Structure 1
Amino acid sequence: MAATEVAPVTLDLDRLENLAESGYYNPYTMFDWPDTIEPDMPWMSEKLTTLGGTPMWDELTREQQLALTRSEAINFFSLNVHGIRELLTEVVLRIHEPTYANVSEFLHHFIGEENEHMWFFSKFCLRYGGRLYPSQPSLRADSVDHLSRTSREMIIFARILIFEEIVDYYNAHMATDASLPFIAREVNRVHHVDESRHVAFGRMVFTELLNQVKQRHPQEVPLVAEYLESYLQYSIATLYNPAAYRDAGIPDALALRRRALSHPARIEAHDQVLKRTRRFLTKSGVGREDIA
């Protein structure tokens, strides 16, 4: 996929490349995978579950609460697997295009690290959950085919950045949650360390491409802002998987999903998850305030 209508992306990535090289690790040997996880420990921080902070959580038995942390941890890691597969597809298509020649070296690091992330997330799901949850219907980037090539290219990297920032919020919290099993903390911790570089890179690419949009197609900026807001909402909603409720033995999964998504405590939690990203988008000129 050529990006010939997009000006070359030129960034100074020496620091990020050096960090990627100096911090390299072998994921296939660094984790100590226990045969089983302690049955009385949550797999996901309880406050980060989709019922956290609501009366719906308190209505569950302790057995159901623990079961929900297990199924939602598997759902979260499954979302990581599917999200990584999507972003890898997009990056591989672009890595040797002239537009990205200046950042190609870092993209090789990026691809290698993301492939390893996909491996250890799927390893956790299959070893302890026995499954990956299927990918969910996507808010497809082709819904913006009416926009210029520059805007569409920027949206691809914006989707990658938003995905990584949301995931990193959860990783950072669970990496230090002593209530979780060690292997769950380690998977979150290792991913968080790598994502700090990926988020930094993503913001740089996003900013450069957005500047091109502003210069060439300023009339599309509000449309881009509208799409990105929709993608934020879509990304949060994928955490609320009815199948995870059913697997935790909770009835009326679809109704529960609707109640949870609209509960004030969860809306407040969403705002916390998205706070950093929203601040960045607003500063960049494509926040909620910039929608036409």
Structure 2
Amino acid sequence: MHPREATAARLLKISAGNAYDPDVDIDWDAPQPPGIMYAPQERLSLFGTPLWDALTPDQRVELSKHEVASIASIGIWFEVLLMRMLLRHVTGLDPRSAHVQYALTEIGDECRHSIMFGRMISAFGAPAYQPAAVHRALGRYLGATAGGIQTFAAALIAEEILDALQREAMADDSLQPLVRMVSRIHVVEEARHIKFARDELARQVAGSSKPRRLYCQIVVARAAYTVTHSLINPQAYAAVGLDPARAGAAAWANPRFRETLRWAGSRVTTYLQELGLVEGPARPVWRAAALL
């Protein structure tokens, strides 16, 4: 069996025996205990700044809720974009193949994840935050044009950054139970998606021409910039009475937040460097994304 088919067949088997149903596995009506953080405080974008120091304990909890809501909202946006790109990827391929069937299985997973994130945001009583217009434009471009390298590299950047944050959250007993359970479900199922994307990306890069790789380096770097700059919508700061523009600038100048982004993206950045996708004119964009 071809390695591509072997990977997909193995992931299909795992998917059949290890999947969650958020409607059943999450108690959506359970109360959210007051005074309990929604994310580790050291991972919040303003932690360690004068703005953070001036917040009351209740404001810090509220900010953690809205930052998690923002990340989940952007997660939905990325997952919908990924579904579009995966559909482009499988269009015209043999539907009898395990590769196509696993890609379609992943699309089904992402549908459930998007609904799960939406229900979590609703349970928070928080807004559904949206990326900036310039980032939405890039999403439309990728959704309409992305080929194999752009599809799987962009998927890995979004999935692995979120995966790192959620792996930490699901193991933290001090956080809200709802956040921990949503994180656990997403981490378990995303592990399969990450394996699928890593294997396919390596094959796509190996079969590409030098001009194609150069183009993909730029597009993938810009996707990384969109991911990190979209995670925390500045309007989330308004929920605790902060000026969004001032707080957003403080977050991006905050070395602790930039270190969190490098930590969350370290695994995928290292992998893309090994594949030669973080090179030449793309490197300044990766630095601007706070991932180098």
TM-score by length of 1: 0.85
Residue in 1 that maps onto 2:258? 267
Question: Which of 123, 130, 134 is the matching residue for 1:127?
Answer: 123
- Contact kept? 1:74, 1:129, Cα under 8 Å: no
Structure 1 residues without counterparts, runs of 5 or longer: 1-7
Question: Which of 59, 77, 86 is the matching residue for 1:82?
Answer: 77
Structure 2 residues without counterparts, runs of 5 or longer: 284-292
Give, in whole Å, the separation in 1 of the partners of 2:65 and 2:100.
Answer: 38
Give, in whole Å, the separation in 2 of the partners of 1:164 and 1:88.
Answer: 13
Give, in whole Å, the separation in 1 of the partners of 2:281 and 2:199.
Answer: 20
**1:107 to partner: Cα distance:** 1.4
Residues 40-59 of structure 1 aligned to structure 2 (within 5 Å): 40-59=35-54
Equivalent residue letter for 1:280: Y
User: Is 87-96 or 16-25 further displaced after alignment?
Assistant: 87-96
- Contact kept? 1:261, 1:267, Cα under 8 Å: yes
Instruction: Evaluate the alpha carbon distance shift between residue 243 and residue 9 of structure 1 in structure 2; reply closer, same or farther with a 3 A threshold.
Output: farther
Instruction: Evaluate the alpha carbon distance shift between residue 59 and residue 174 of structure 1 in structure 2; reply closer, same or farther with a 3 A threshold.
Output: same
| 1:165 and 2:160 correspond | yes
**1:224 to partner: Cα distance:** 2.2
Equivalent residue letter for 2:25: M
Question: Which of 138, 141, 151 is the matching residue for 1:140?
Answer: 138
Aligned residues: 277
Equivalent residue letter for 2:120: F
Equivalent residue letter for 1:119: I
Give, in whole Å, the separation in 2 of the partners of 1:34 and 1:235.
Answer: 31
RMSD between superposed Cα atoms in Å:
2.6
Question: Which of 237, 243, 247 is the matching residue for 1:245?
Answer: 237
| 1:280 and 2:275 correspond | no
Residue in 2 that maps onto 1:192? 187
**1:290 to partner: Cα distance:** 7.4
- Contact kept? 1:157, 1:206, Cα under 8 Å: yes
Instruction: Evaluate the alpha carbon distance shift between residue 283 and residue 29 of structure 1 in structure 2; reply closer, same or farther with a 3 A threshold.
Output: same
Instruction: Evaluate the alpha carbon distance shift between residue 290 and residue 42 of structure 1 in structure 2; reply closer, same or farther with a 3 A threshold.
Output: same
- For residue 43 of structure 1, give the secondary structure of its aligned residue in structure 2: coil
Give, in whole Å, the separation in 1 of the partners of 2:241 and 2:140.
Answer: 37
Give, in whole Å, the separation in 1 of the partners of 2:140 and 2:80.
Answer: 17
Equivalent residue letter for 2:236: A
Residue in 1 that maps onto 2:218? 226
| 1:112 and 2:112 correspond | no
- Contact kept? 1:9, 1:208, Cα under 8 Å: no
TM-score by length of 2: 0.85
Residue in 1 that maps onto 2:290? none
Residue in 1 that maps onto 2:10? 15
**1:143 to partner: Cα distance:** 5.9
- Contact kept? 2:46, 2:254, Cα under 8 Å: no
**1:24 to partner: Cα distance:** 2.5
- Contact kept? 1:9, 1:103, Cα under 8 Å: no
Equivalent residue letter for 2:21: N
**1:102 to partner: Cα distance:** 4.9
**1:142 to partner: Cα distance:** 6.8
Residue in 1 that maps onto 2:289? none
Instruction: Evaluate the alpha carbon distance shift between residue 289 and residue 128 of structure 1 in structure 2; reply closer, same or farther with a 3 A threshold.
Output: same
Instruction: Evaluate the alpha carbon distance shift between residue 29 and residue 201 of structure 1 in structure 2; reply closer, same or farther with a 3 A threshold.
Output: same
**1:193 to partner: Cα distance:** 0.6
Residue in 2 that maps onto 1:3? none
Give, in whole Å, the separation in 1 of the partners of 2:279 and 2:236.
Answer: 31
**1:130 to partner: Cα distance:** 4.6
Give, in whole Å, the separation in 2 of the partners of 1:167 and 1:247.
Answer: 23
Instruction: Evaluate the alpha carbon distance shift between residue 144 and residue 76 of structure 1 in structure 2; reply closer, same or farther with a 3 A threshold.
Output: closer
Percentage of matched positions with identical amino acids: 22
Instruction: Evaluate the alpha carbon distance shift between residue 86 and residue 141 of structure 1 in structure 2; reply closer, same or farther with a 3 A threshold.
Output: closer
Give, in whole Å, the separation in 1 of the partners of 2:80 and 2:245.
Answer: 27
Question: Which of 234, 243, 246 is the matching residue for 1:255?
Answer: 246
